[in-house]
A and B are shown apart, each in its own frame.
Chain A
Amino acid sequence: MGQTVIQKETSQQTATRCYHCGETCDKSIAADEKYFCCDGCKFVYQLLQENGLCNYYDLSVQPGIKIKGKFSSNRFAYLANEDVIKKLLRFNDGKQSHVSFYLPQMHCASCIWLLENLHSIDPGIYYSKTNFHRKDIFVAFDPSKTTLRKIVELLAFVGYEPYISLKDGEKKKNKKINRSKIFKIGIAGFCFSNIMMLSFPEYFSSGNIGQETLKKVFSYLNLALSLPVIFYSASEFFISAWKGLRQKWLNIDAPIALAVLVAFGRSLYEILSGTGPGYLDSMSGIVLFMLIGRWFQDKTYDSFSFDRDYKSYFPLGVTIVKEGVEETATISALKKGDRILVRQNEMIPADAVIREGEGNIDYSFVSGENTPVQKNRGELVYAGGKQLGCMIEMEVVNPVEQSYITQLWNNNTLEEEKNKDRSFVHPWSRYFTLVLFTVAGSAAGYWALNDPTKIWPAVTATLLVACPCSLLLSSTFTFGNMLRHFGKNKFYLKNSSVIESLAKINTIVFDKTGTLTHSSQAIVSYEGKGLSDEEVVCVYSLAKESVHPLSRVIKNELLAKYNSEPLPVKDFKEIPGKGIMGKIKDRSIRMGSWQFINDDESATEFQDSGMVFISINDQYKGVFRITNQYRNGVNDMVKQLAAKKYDLHVLSGDNDSEKTNLEKIFGKKATIKFRQSPQDKLDYINRLRRNDYDAEILMLGDGLNDAGALKQANVGVAVSENSSQFSPASDVIMDSSVVNKLFAFINYAKAGKQIVLWSFIISILYNVVGLSFAVQAKLSPLIAAILMPVSSVTIVSFVSLASAFLAKKKGI
């Protein structure tokens, strides 16, 4: 057998690209001297052309989105159901309806333009407005002129299929954004700057303002301005401290609340008794800086959702057949024994048995396995699979809440609140508070013996100056900065406490398909008799007719080398799960499994799923072998991790065909397991945790099949090919292009802890200076007002510089 490996040529410059979506294509589909990769793209172009919306193509190059597969006309039929409409609409008065959708495909300025010009395609739409960061669109329409279903169909047609899920239906209207934090900062900032301004005369005259009245006016104005700070802006510190105290737990907010209260109490006393100006400027400064720190740390990624549960994955509606009549119903209404219709590209919403038709189920979503599985009449299909072939009729065995996937999700036997109060800042704050009280107590003791009149000023000043705000600022600003640096590298953390968990990791569990390997890209190699140029064109033309993932891989591979016109295919036939066949000129060509090309059901040779055999005129020609390609840099990354003695594990849902390759990368020490079901993965993580209490596990996975394991690990990282794709519930969402940087990310998280420790030391130095004034009862408001902002500014600038510097050093 001669061996020819088809090599990829760099024919990118000469390749024709689809005018709409930019995919390489041939010149068979054209309109207005523009070429398209498929009819879908051409239809979208023509629709935009007719409505004068071709500006879409001028704003960015090839902005369109390829429409995968064809929509069956009933795909969105459930949107005509009154219940569903009621759930989705945010507002409806009969004349105007409002609805908003999440559009994960939105990606450029052209998208915004097209989506905001929908009214020129459908006159029933009043206007539409997008929010690019949240990737959502708000549509106001006239329900008498157009319907919800029509709008969704239009959006799907132009390539922006809205993501409509059960979850949306449930929690739709409480979408009010919480802006109270911004108000609190605004008001604290306003009061702080005005109090500061009114305190200047006091400082510059070193406490001797000539006119008594002016002095009084300043003090009382300051007091008035401080009221909103203490009663509104600082309220969250008091609430949190009080909650902690009620549970007999001294949290980090307790010393802050104490400092603010003491400062306010003493200032109130001084102003009312006319003995001094008080420390109101320091107090409002503390509140302002702390609030800014919190806000800075709470950066959220609007377009990501870290808490998806199974409900976000399922469609809202389903077609039920009752006594021969088709009806749409919400999927929560599905009962055992219901007959449902599942069309091409629809997801199976509940565990069900096939009654009519042949299933060709894509389980990639559940198991990570790319190749579709064939299911015959009478076989059970689990929820979560996608039907690729023609329509099938199924009988529901388990309702949605009890399906296999859902059960897995709700498996909470070991569930504990992750990362709750495990932060290393919290033990510090307790320690800090104890030291603080000791210092204050000994100062009080000293003055009780020497000069009892100074007890009160010394104690209050101590509590005030030692406010752990610099301590807290250092962690909030460090973690906030690090979140930004991680985000710049497409490593999106759910919140800042994940950084601390990440720093503790010592065990790493990888999923294989889609995580270590590309899920879309594959290496195609051809073995067998050489194909003549004409034969290659025939194979290409045949593969082009099919939407099966393997055909598409072969088509793209051949297109890269032979950029020629496809030939017309006659008698094309696709047999799900087996292969495709057709006639081109005088050749009859078959591509598919070994059994298929030999027309022999009993042949069991070559069962490997990644092989496509070719025969021309019933003559065996050769085989395309499609293997997974490991992501760039995975090898080096694993070597680095192994060198640092991380405990490595690989759990794969696939068969063990990749065993030798994986062993080469991971070495002898790592555990590698194949054919792991989602439940196996979950159990494996649990076993690791039970066997070794010190194990801090990071699980890296994609797909729903890893969802349970991701949830159970200390840090679950969801790898996503495309940030707009849906990823399972996790602590981190990571772009697949940066998987090789995992080692650097963990190192950076560790470095973050160092930064916080160093800045603690700086803040302690400031505290020593401040306390030395305070215990001597010599802390004037002026010293407090200088010390407090200077220490905050030093710490904030130190942590910003240090985190930027270390990010560079760690290769992030």
Chain B
Amino acid sequence: MSVLIILIAVSIVVAGLFLGAFIWSVKKGQFDDDYTPSVRMLFDDKPVASKNSSVKSKQK
């Protein structure tokens, strides 16, 4: 049955890692703003770049 003790130790360590991940993410501010990042990731950069270059080429 001593295998149980090893398993329990492993399970607590794994759970502890998750707790650590949680604390780290809170500290990093990942839960501070739950709206802006969801909008930010939808912005496309491509059209901007092309317009930029067209403006530049006009200037030339």
Contact = CB atoms under 8 A, between A and B. Distances in A.
A183 B49 CA distance: 43
Interface string B2-45: 00110010011001101100110011010111111001101110
B27 to A, nearest CB: 7
A329 B55 CA distance: 42
A376 interface: no
A221 B8 contact: yes
Interface residues of B, number: 33
A530 interface: no
A477 B43 CA distance: 38
B48 A133 contact: no
Interface string A59-101: 1000000000000000000000000000000000000000000
Interface stretch (A110-118, A462-470, A607-615, A776-784): A110-118
Interface string B42-60: 1110011101101100000
Most A CB atoms within 10 A — which of B26, B39, B42? B39
Given A182-B26, A198-B8, A131 B52 contact: no
Contact of B15 (A113, A190, A211): A190
Contacts of B44: 55
A183 B26 contact: yes
A797 interface: no
Nearest to A190: B19
Chain A interface extent, by class: 20 to 34
A792 B42 CA distance: 41
A132 interface: yes
A411 interface: no
A222 to B, nearest CB: 11
A120 B29 CA distance: 27
A109 B51 CA distance: 20
B38 to A, nearest CB: 9
Contact of B43 (A52, A113, A186, A211): A113
A643 interface: no
Nearest to B54: A52
Contacts of B31: 182
A177 interface: yes
Contacts of B48: 52-53, 55, 117, 120
Contact of A186 (B19, B42, B52, B54): B19
A52 B15 CA distance: 49
Interface of B: 1, 4-5, 8, 11-12, 15-16, 18-19, 22-23, 26-27, 29, 31-36, 39-40, 42-44, 47-49, 51-52, 54-55
Given A133-B36, A183-B23, 9 more contacts: A53-B48, A55-B44, A113-B43, A116-B43, A179-B27, A190-B18, A194-B12, A211-B1, A214-B5
Give me the 5 closest cross-chain CB pairs, A-B, nearest first. Answer: A52-B51, A52-B52, A132-B36, A190-B19, A131-B33
